[in-house]
Chains A and B, each alone.
Chain A
């Protein structure tokens, strides 16, 4: 079997990755494995960074190309086009500025768009608003489970209102 990167040398490193029951394989020669830094997998358990970021570039964005290039984050100065190219977000305010692009992206990568884990201690005390939104979102989940859709709509409105205040 030939190396999947150079296509010339015999592959001696056979990586296996099983995600959601699906097996993916990657075959590399020693030279290419070394180059990627994957020649000692035991010592770098993060390998082989399954190229999730490819999805950053793949994802269709239903917005005019012009906007993607001209709207810039006021803190880091990046456009969404820049972020896409590099596959990395610029700063915390990018998450607000590019919310409409990042929401479908995160949904595709993560399957969800709302945090339900830990919140910073300070956030709990100082930022009462964040805490309130967080609690409402938990409640929202509950009422949806119970199929109380009217109440769900109310909570959703309340969340939107609070989110606007926060900005």
Chain B
């Protein structure tokens, strides 16, 4: 990228939604809503010629520049980014896996706090996203709805009264909306109740996803609940459903944490204390190990077992800071896996001492 400092600035600032100040933030890591929108009369990006992508990008950027919500926004041309730089934005939840491989006339627009962002010419002409800390889907919806209204003033959306917002993929047609909550469920995993709970709370039109099981590459017990259906349902209903089910998962997770605490208090304390000890004192640490240990420490913090950790924000920030591309962008160069492990350990030691 031409402007390395922009990236480093982004790497050094904390996303607004990582503050951990939302309700139920010790279980609900983040919640987000994205809206898929297309412009009337323009071929959708999967089939569009470069000159069409150029036109749609200009139209959308023009509308973005007139929007108050994007006054402090950065516009990033994806095609100018190196693979590590693209990975960096992927890790920050700002671009998608598809977007990472994209070519000319693809842009990321992101306002300073990273609460609101926009991918231009991904699968749809644009995708608007809002992320909040904790369980705040209502708030995320109110904000993104207002931003959508403002952007629409200067754009003609592809919309039909029958099918709603028209999207490149029929799985998004209608509201074009995906609402999701990222849940941290170490209690349900440890008590082996995760399967039953996910099955029990899952309901028509919703989906829960995660990594699990014995011998799994540790990734920290994170699960995502989101809506599957986008047509024939109101946005508010989607927000309501995903929110309700997430709240149920939160309650189940809290119960599981209590059970863990009551049944195996000493074991649990030992486990969490060791995890903290490793993190606070290691000099070489892989991403997977760090993720796994941070998940335990996060659990320990919510059970008040780690007086040394002041707030959840430190742990949330760390979960991101340890990712491979974050480390390399912060450092300003590509690094070997050994150097990354070394730097990662240093970042964690320093952050835990803050």
A80-117 interface code vs B (CB 8 A; 1 in, 0 out): 00000011111111011000001001100111111111
Interface stretch, picked from B163-171, B276-284, B345-353, is B163-171
B163: chain A residues within 8 A (beta carbon): 95, 106, 113-115
Closest chain B residue, CB of each to CB of A16: B212
- Measured CA separation A92–B204 after assembly (Å): 28
- Measured CA separation A121–B224 after assembly (Å): 32
- Measured CA separation A20–B207 after assembly (Å): 7
Closest chain B residue, CB of each to CB of A135: B161
- Measured CA separation A118–B37 after assembly (Å): 12
Check A92 against B166 for contact (C-beta < 8 Å): yes
- Measured CA separation A15–B100 after assembly (Å): 22
Interface residue tally for chain A (C-beta within 8 Å): 65
**Interface: A63 (CB within 8 A):** no
- Measured CA separation A80–B319 after assembly (Å): 45
Q: State whether A116 and B199 are in contact (beta carbons under 8 Å apart), knowing that A16-B212, A123-B159 are contacts in the complex.
A: no
- Measured CA separation A117–B176 after assembly (Å): 10
Check A76 against B180 for contact (C-beta < 8 Å): no
Q: State whether A20 and B204 are in contact (beta carbons under 8 Å apart), knowing that A41-B219, A88-B168, A109-B170 are contacts in the complex.
A: yes
Expressed in whole angstroms, the minimum distance between the Cβ of A22 and any Cβ of chain B is: 8
Which residues of A, 13-69, contact B by the 8 Å Cβ criterion? 13-21, 23, 30, 37, 39-48, 50, 52-53, 56
**Interface: B66 (CB within 8 A):** no
A95: chain B residues within 8 A (beta carbon): 160, 163, 166
**Interface: A140 (CB within 8 A):** no
**Interface: B152 (CB within 8 A):** yes
Check A40 against B323 for contact (C-beta < 8 Å): yes
Expressed in whole angstroms, the minimum distance between the Cβ of A124 and any Cβ of chain B is: 11
B174-190 interface code vs A (CB 8 A; 1 in, 0 out): 11010010100000000
- Measured CA separation A16–B189 after assembly (Å): 13
| Selected contact of A18 from candidates B156, B170, B207, B220, CB within 8 Å | B207
A105: chain B residues within 8 A (beta carbon): 170
| Selected contact of B198 from candidates A23, A76, A93, CB within 8 Å | A23
Interface stretch, picked from B9-17, B71-79, B109-117, B230-238, is B230-238
**Interface: B157 (CB within 8 A):** yes
**Interface: A75 (CB within 8 A):** yes
Check A113 against B162 for contact (C-beta < 8 Å): yes
Q: State whether A115 and B169 are in contact (beta carbons under 8 Å apart), knowing that A21-B203, A91-B44, A106-B163 are contacts in the complex.
A: no
- Measured CA separation A88–B166 after assembly (Å): 11
Closest chain B residue, CB of each to CB of A50: B207
- List A residues at the B interface (Cβ < 8 Å): 12-21, 23, 30, 37, 39-48, 50, 52-53, 56, 75-76, 78, 86-93, 95-96, 102, 105-106, 109-123, 130-131, 133-134, 137, 163, 166
- List B residues at the A interface (Cβ < 8 Å): 38, 40-44, 46-47, 90-91, 93, 96-97, 100, 123, 145, 148-149, 152-153, 156-171, 173-175, 177, 180, 182, 195, 198-199, 202-213, 215-217, 219-220, 222, 224, 226, 228-235, 287, 291, 319, 323
